[in-house]
Amino acid sequence: MPEEKVYDDVEVHDMNDGFQKSNHANVSASEGQNGAPVIWKALSVVIAMAAVIYDLSPIDVVPDAVPIFGWLDDVGFTLMAALNAYQQFSKDQSAMVVRLAKYVKWMMVAFIVLAGVAVGGLVTAIIALVTQ
């Protein structure tokens, strides 16, 4: 039952208190207080390990010899993997920070895809100019 607040002998009921408690109970029942399902946690660990392997590997989408951009792809993959792991292992999946991590993670994915398309287009344009 929501707490009652009394101001100057007027009783005020906060309608959001009851909604948040019942909504939180539904989230707790479906996802549990231990974070995301185990399969998503395991996948986030695999993604994090793949990001570390990618960072250590001499084979990159953008070679590390390219100034600044060579390291940005490594940092982007690692940051995306870290945000994903944080999101999956967070106890309260409905928290604002977890939702923010989710959106930032997907913006990083979109940025990485767009950067890959841009680099691919640049390489294609250079090859086309050289072969003419």
Other CB atoms within a 10 A radius of the CB of residue 130 amount to 7
CA proximity to 78, closest of 58, 103, 100, 108: 108
pLDDT digits (tens, 9 = 90+) for 82-110: 988 988 888 888 888 888 888 888 888 88
C-alpha 74/C-alpha 55 separation (Å) is 5
| Both structure tokens of 54 | 């990618």
9 or 68, greater pLDDT: 68
CB 102 within 8 A of CB 87: yes
Confidence (pTM): 0.59
Q: Where are the domains of the chain?
A: 1-31, 35-131
Confidence grade of residue 62 (pLDDT, cut at 50, 70, 90): confident
So what's the pLDDT on residue 130? 93
